[in-house]
């Protein structure tokens, strides 16, 4: 997450949702964060993955509705995602 409304932040905190802010993703690496997230959701019976175009940097996704810089880059995201879905 790069930004969100205070109400969204409070709701997610109240629900105990693990949030990865972009600074943490950049510091730890996208692949590491994806693997950690997968280990969290694997504890659930079912889970889904949703990819929001607004999470990408507008330089690589100019059609995004959120023109906020410092988003995900396309090729590194795709590499990490491929490894994620191939993970046993």
Is the predicted pLDDT of residue 14 greater than 90, yes or no?
Answer: yes
pLDDT for 64:
78
Q: Write down the pTM of the prediction.
A: 0.72
CA distance 47 to 63: 28
CA distance 16 to 27: 22
CA distance 63 to 29: 25
pLDDT for 87:
57
- The per-residue pLDDT for range 25-80, each reduced to its tens digit, is 889 998 899 889 888 888 888 777 777 888 888 888 888 777 778 888 888 888 88
- CB contact at 8 A, 78 and 61: no
pLDDT for 32:
92
Alpha carbon distances (Å) from 41 to 35, 37, 83: 10, 6, 16
Residue 3 banded pLDDT, cuts 50, 70, 90: confident
Q: How many helices (H) and strands (E) does the chain have?
A: 4, 0
């Amino acid at each position: 997450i790069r930004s969100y409304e205070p109400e969204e932040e409070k709701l997610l905190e109240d629900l105990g949702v693990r949030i990865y802010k972009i600074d943490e993703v950049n510091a730890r690496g996208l692949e590491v964060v994806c693997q950690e997230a997968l280990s969290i959701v694997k504890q659930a019976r079912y889970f889904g993955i949703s990819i929001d175009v607004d999470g990408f940097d507008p330089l690589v996704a100019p059609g995004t509705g959120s023109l906020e810089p410092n988003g995900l880059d396309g090729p590194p995201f795709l590499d990490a995602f491929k490894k994620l879905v191939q993970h046993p």
